[in-house]
């Protein structure tokens, strides 16, 4: 019996984003120093008014942090509920995008051949299995056909055993395939955990070390942390990376700049572009990155206040509305962290800011 699963299930906090003390053990992910962003006051009457509306929108919806970066400068930074610029919180499924970025780096370095490589080339456990014929692209696009048992009302689902349990990789490896690949899009946490296992097998490095050296240090972030399934165990890569709002902003800015930072290239530009291309069977999702606004998950949201993204916008999505939006056309990055809000619409904040900038021209 996995006692950690039962203990974690019995003590799971009502505020899983901000209760960082509950997650144990955490492995430190060394960063590159956390150099402060340049700050400046916003200019333009309409853009300034839009920033005020965005601040109010976030404040009214259980947020702990809000950051707006325009042309590389922080123009709005707000914290609530005792949060500060140094406070870390759980990014939840925004962690998936980190895995997607690292796959691109591993391909560039030659550890992985291409997204068309078969999973069985890296996982001997699946080599003689139909699952071994899946490609990395099937996993990245979330149309692998692997069982998607994401129930949260039972301790026996694949998701709960991965999230709460002590053997995250072993649990993922046991998940069967239930339909042919590329038949249906299903947002499945197993896909990401398998991708990270492939990454560690291909590179010969732990996920923590590879994340730190290839991504978190190069973007000059402060130290982050990731949840392990047990002491000395494996990282839960589908869910649970902890960082500050500003460091999520650094990541978003690097992606906005096609993989570049002041220190040089971090992720190949063609890979950043590929991540933003939608799946052939799901136009909202790319390679572990959301590329189009989805209908809101919250039935009480005011749809009259929203419309499609004004311009191309991609975003990282974490449970309870952890968000990093990137708006390349307007050189904007928006970060929202916090607990679950009563209502939310992904189109509101990007559109307010884009329209404000346009009206000031």
302 pLDDT tier (thresholds 50, 70, 90): very low
Measuring CA to CA, how many Å separate 309 from each of 53, 191, 302? 17, 28, 16
User: Residue 87, exposed/middle/buried by CB under 10 A (0-12, 13-18, 19+)?
Assistant: middle
User: Residue 117, exposed/middle/buried by CB under 10 A (0-12, 13-18, 19+)?
Assistant: middle
User: What is the per-residue pLDDT across 144-202, written as a single tens digit (0 to 9) for each?
Assistant: 999 999 999 999 999 999 999 999 999 999 999 999 999 999 999 999 999 999 999 99
- In the numeric block, the tokens 């995250």 are attached to 168
Between CA 270 and CA 123 the distance in angstroms is 27
Between CA 347 and CA 258 the distance in angstroms is 23
Between CA 192 and CA 231 the distance in angstroms is 21
**Topology at the third CATH level for domain 38-81+244-361:** Beta-lactamase (3.40.710)
Please, what CATH class does the domain formed by 89-243 belong to? alpha beta
Domain boundaries, the chain: 38-81+244-361, 89-243
Tell me the mean pLDDT in the region 81-86. Answer: 96
297 pLDDT tier (thresholds 50, 70, 90): low
Biggest alpha carbon distance in the chain?
A: 63
Mean pLDDT of the chain: 95
pTM: 0.96
Between CA 327 and CA 311 the distance in angstroms is 7
35 pLDDT tier (thresholds 50, 70, 90): confident
pLDDT number for residue 295: 64
Between CA 118 and CA 211 the distance in angstroms is 23
pLDDT number for residue 1: 86
pLDDT number for residue 182: 96
DSSP reduced 3-state for 67 = strand
DSSP 7-60: HHHHH--S-TTT-GGGS-SEEEE--S--PPPPB----SHHHHHHHHHHHHHHHT
Looking at the DSSP bridge assignments, the partners of residue 277 are none
pLDDT number for residue 305: 44
Looking at the DSSP bridge assignments, the partners of residue 89 are 243
Note whether 323 and 54 are within 8 A (CB): no
What stretch of H or E contains 323? strand 322-327
pLDDT number for residue 293: 83
Report residue 339 as tokens: 């607990």
Say yes or no to pLDDT of 298 above 60: no
Between CA 329 and CA 134 the distance in angstroms is 35
Note whether 100 and 271 are within 8 A (CB): no
pLDDT number for residue 308: 80
Closest CA to 23 of 106, 101, 88: 88
Say yes or no to pLDDT of 231 above 70: yes
Percent of the chain with pLDDT over 90: 92
Domains 38-81+244-361 and 89-243 share a fold: yes
């Amino acid at each position: 019996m996995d006692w950690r699963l039962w203990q974690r299930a019995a003590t799971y906090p009502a505020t899983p984003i901000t209760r960082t003390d509950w997650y144990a053990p955490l492995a430190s992910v060394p960063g590159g120093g956390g150099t402060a962003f340049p700050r400046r006051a916003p200019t333009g009457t309409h853009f300034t008014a839009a920033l005020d509306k965005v601040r109010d929108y976030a404040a009214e919806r259980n947020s702990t942090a809000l950051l707006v970066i325009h042309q590389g400068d922080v123009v709005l930074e707000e914290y609530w509920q005792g949060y500060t610029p140094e406070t870390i919180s759980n990014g939840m499924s925004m962690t998936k995008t980190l895995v997607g970025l690292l796959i691109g780096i591993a391909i560039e370095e030659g550890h992985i051949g291409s997204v068309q490589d078969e999973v069985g080339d890296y996982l001997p456990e699946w080599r003689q299995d139909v699952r071994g014929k899946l490609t990395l692209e099937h996993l990245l696009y979330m149309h692998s056909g692997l069982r998607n048992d994401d129930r949260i009302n039972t301790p026996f689902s694949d998701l709960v055993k991965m999230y709460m349990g002590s053997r995250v990789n072993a649990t993922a490896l046991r998940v069967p395939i239930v339909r042919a690949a590329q038949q249906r899009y299903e947002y499945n946490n197993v896909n990401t955990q398998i991708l990270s296992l492939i990454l560690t097998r291909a590179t010969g490095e732990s996920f923590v070390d590879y994340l730190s050296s290839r991504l978190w240090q190069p973007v000059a972030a402060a130290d982050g942390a990731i949840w392990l399934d047990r002491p000395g165990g494996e990282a839960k890569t589908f869910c649970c990376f902890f960082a500050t709002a500003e460091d999520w902003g650094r990541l978003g800015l690097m992606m906005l700049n096609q993989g570049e930072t002041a220190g040089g290239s971090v992720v190949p530009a063609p890979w950043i572009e590929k991540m933003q291309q939608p799946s052939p069977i799901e136009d909202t999702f790319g390679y572990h990155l959301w590329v189009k606004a989805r209908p809101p998950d919250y039935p009480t949201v005011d749809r009259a206040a929203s419309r499609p993204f004004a311009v191309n916008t991609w975003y990282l999505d974490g449970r309870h509305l952890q968000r990093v939006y990137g708006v390349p056309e307007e050189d904007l990055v928006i970060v929202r962290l916090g607990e679950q809000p009563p209502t939310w619409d992904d189109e509101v904040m990007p559109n307010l800011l884009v329209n404000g900038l346009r009206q000031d021209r």
